[in-house]
């Protein structure tokens, strides 16, 4: 719901009170809104006008549910709750970035809240504030340098995303976030350009946010393992 509403004017998270079908404007009933299940039971079509429901809804619901499951399996309950806030925020900003090429501040705020809670519960607070400030400072520097060479190559939303993720994963975690995000982004770029049968033109824009989000989430889950692997 937030992925649809946040970037659109005339909508707020609380208004309209009930969701409506964007095609026929019919109010949705509670049983049209059950995550994952409604999409399958309605056969991906609006109950009222039979127009297709974008597969994005199904993917978002499946990803959110899967991340909650993973969090609750690999973490103790209090950390898992903080991690669910982080993973929800990451999914939120990723799908808005894919569609609109922007990362909303409200999504950044959700991730910041989750990351802060995570660090406090994990005993990394307040040291983590210094680490996040260093990451944020370096990223702002990189933002200005990168955009001097190529305009719009690195969005300020990406800077904010890395900054708030660092509140949970610290400096070393941020390095893994950037490394994993860049590798997956390059692989995705190669696959997309191969599928299109040509090199993507210079004008083709690929948002970096979703890749940083994925890198950040993997880094959050596997930080102890990754640190061990590199002897850190
Ligand atoms: Zn409809």
65 CA distance to ligand 1 middle (Å) = 25
**133 Cα–ligand 1 center, Å:** 47
pLDDT over 90 percentage in the chain: 80
Domain end residue (candidates: 33, 53, 73): 53
pLDDT class for 2, splitting at 50, 70, 90?
Answer: very high
Share of the chain above pLDDT 70, in %: 97
Q: What is the pLDDT of residue 29?
A: 94
- Separation of CA 127 and ligand 1 centre (Å): 51
Rounded-to-integer distance, Cα 55 and Cα 226, Å: 34
Q: Read off the tokens for 138.
A: 């370096």
pTM of the model: 0.92
57 CA → ligand 1 middle, Å: 15
Q: Distance, CA 45 to ligand 1 centroid (Å)?
A: 8
Phi-psi sector, 130: left (phi>0), alpha (psi -120 to 50), beta: alpha
| Helix, strand, coil percentages, rounded to 5, for the chain | 70, 5, 30
CA of 202 to the centre of ligand 1 (A): 38
Q: What's the total number of domains in the chain?
A: 2
The Cα 23–Cα 7 span in angstroms is: 18
User: Could you tell me if 128 and 13 lie in one domain?
Assistant: no
Q: Do 74 and 6 share a structural domain?
A: no
Rounded to an integer, the average pLDDT of 199-222 is 86
Neighbours of 106 (CB within 10 A): 14
In tens, the pLDDT along 55-113 reads 999 999 999 999 999 999 999 999 999 999 999 999 999 999 999 999 999 999 999 99
Same domain, 103 and 145: yes
Q: Are residues 18 and 104 in the same domain?
A: no
> 47 and 134: one domain?
no
What's the 81 CA to ligand 1 centre distance in angstroms? 35
Residue at which a domain ends, from 38, 53, 68: 53
Ligand 1 center–CA 19 separation, angstroms: 11
Please give the residue range of the domain that contains residue 41: 1-53
**Are residue 70 and residue 156 in the same domain, yes or no?**
yes
Same domain membership, residue 98 and residue 8: no
| Domain match, 79 and 123 both | yes
Closest CA to 173 of 137, 219, 214, 135: 219
**Structure token digits, residue 173:** 């975690």
| Per-residue confidence (pLDDT) for residue 201, from 0 to 100 | 63
How far apart are the CA of 27 and the centre of ligand 1, in A?
A: 9
Lowest average pLDDT, out of 14-18, 30-34, 211-215, goes to 14-18
Residues 69 and 19 in one domain: no
**pLDDT score for 203:** 60
- Note whether 151 and 37 are same-domain residues: no
Nearest by Cα to 163 from 133, 203, 205: 133
36 plus 65 within the same structural domain? no
What digits encode the pLDDT tens for the residues 120-156?
999 998 999 999 999 999 999 999 998 898 877 788 9
**One domain for residues 62 and 144:** yes
């Amino acid at each position: 719901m937030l992925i649809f509403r946040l970037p659109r004017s005339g909508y707020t998270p609380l208004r309209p009170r009930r969701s409506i079908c964007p095609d026929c404007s019919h109010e949705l009933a509670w049983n049209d809104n059950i995550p994952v299940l409604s999409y399958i039971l309605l056969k991906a079509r609006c109950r009222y006008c039979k127009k297709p429901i974008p597969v994005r809804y199904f993917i978002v619901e499946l990803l959110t549910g899967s991340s909650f499951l993973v969090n609750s399996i690999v973490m103790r309950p209090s950390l898992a709750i903080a991690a669910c806030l982080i993973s929800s925020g990451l999914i939120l900003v990723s799908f808005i970035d894919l569609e609109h090429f922007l990362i909303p501040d409200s999504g950044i705020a959700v991730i910041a809240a989750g990351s802060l809670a995570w660090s406090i519960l994990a005993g990394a607070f307040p040291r983590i504030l210094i680490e996040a400030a260093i990451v944020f400072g370096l990223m702002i520097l990189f933002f200005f340098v990168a955009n001097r060479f190529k305009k719009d190559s690195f969005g300020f939303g990406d800077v904010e995303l890395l900054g708030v993720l660092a509140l949970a994963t610290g400096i070393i975690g941020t390095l893994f976030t950037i490394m994993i995000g860049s590798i997956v982004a390059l692989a995705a770029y190669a696959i997309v350009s191969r599928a299109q049968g040509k090199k993507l033109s210079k004008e083709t824009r690929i948002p970096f946010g979703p890749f940083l989000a994925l890198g950040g989430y993997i880094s959050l889950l596997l930080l102890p393992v990754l640190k061990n692997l590199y002897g850190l």
